[in-house]
Amino acid sequence: MPRLKTGEIVKIRGWWHARIDYYIYDEAAGSQRRRYITRKADNNTKFAARKKLEEIAKEFGDNPQALDSARMTFADLARFYEETYLIPPQYVDGRKVAGLRNHYDFKLRLKALREFFKTKRLREISYSDLEKYRIARLKTPVVVGRNTRGTQKHGKPVARQRSIATVNRDLSLLRRVLNVAKRNKWISENPFELGDSLIKLGDEKPRERILTRQEEENLLAACTGWRTHLRPVIICALDTGMRRGEIFKLKWADIDFIGRIITIHAFNTKTERKRQVAMTERLAAELVALYEHSTQDSQALVFGIATSVKTAFNKVKRIAGLSDLRFHDLRHTYATRLVSLQVQLPEIGRQLGHTQERTTYRYVNSNVETARRVAAILDGFHSLQADVKEAIH
317 closest CA partner among 230, 200, 248: 230
137-172 pLDDT, tens digit per residue, is 999 888 765 555 544 455 666 777 888 888 999 999
- Average pLDDT, stretch 342-359? 74
| Sign (positive or negative) of CA dihedral 221, 223, 226, 229 | negative
Mean pLDDT of the 181-195 span: 89
Helix and strand element counts for the chain (H, E):
15, 11
Q: Inform me whether the pLDDT recorded for 61 exceeds 70.
A: no
Supply the CATH classification number for the domain 75-148+156-203: 1.10.150
Identity of the amino acid at 194: L
Per-residue pLDDT for 275 more than 80? yes
Specify the pLDDT at position 57. Answer: 78
pLDDT of 211 > 70? The answer is: yes
Flag the least confident range among 73-77, 363-367, 374-378.
Answer: 363-367
Whether the per-residue pLDDT at 321 is higher than 90: the answer is yes
pLDDT in tens, 285-301: 999 999 999 999 999 99
What are the backbone angles phi and psi of residue 258, rounded to the nearest 5°? -70, -50
Compute the CA torsion angle 367, 371, 377, 382 (nearest 10 deg).
Answer: 160
Model confidence over 85-129: pLDDT tens digits?
Answer: 888 877 676 666 777 767 778 898 999 999 999 889 898 899 999
Q: What does the pLDDT look like over 230-242, one tens digit per residue?
A: 999 999 999 998 8
Query: What letter does residue 28 receive in the DSSP assignment?
Result: T
CA 365 to chain centre: 21
The CATH architecture that domain 213-371 belongs to is Orthogonal Bundle (1.10)
pLDDT at residue 151, as a whole number: 43
For residue 393, pLDDT over 70 is answered with no
Confidence of residue 270 (pLDDT cuts 50, 70, 90): low
Q: Is the pLDDT of residue 15 over 90?
A: yes
Could you tell me if 216 and 317 are in contact, meaning their C-beta atoms sit under 8 angstroms apart? no
Tell me which of 45-54, 98-107, 298-307 is least confident: 98-107
Q: What is the pLDDT of residue 267?
A: 63
| Residue length of the chain | 393
User: 195 with 242: CB under 8 angstroms?
Assistant: no
d(Cα 78, Cα 72) in Å, to the nearest integer?
A: 11
- Whether residue 20 contacts residue 60, with contact meaning beta carbons closer than 8 Å, is answered with yes
**pLDDT-wise least confident of 9-23, 77-91, 175-189, 367-381:** 367-381
How many other CB atoms are there within 10 angstroms of residue 219's CB atom? 23
The average confidence (pLDDT) of the chain is 81
Non-local CB neighbours of 390 within 8 Å, separated by 6+ positions: none
Strands 15-26 and 8-12, by their bridges, are antiparallel
Closest by CA to 7, choosing from 18, 16, 20, is: 20
Map out the domains of the chain as residue ranges.
3-70, 75-148+156-203, 213-371
- Residue 339: per-residue pLDDT: 78
- DSSP string over 126-163: -HHHHHHHHHHHHHSPEEEEEE--SS-SS-EEEEEPPP
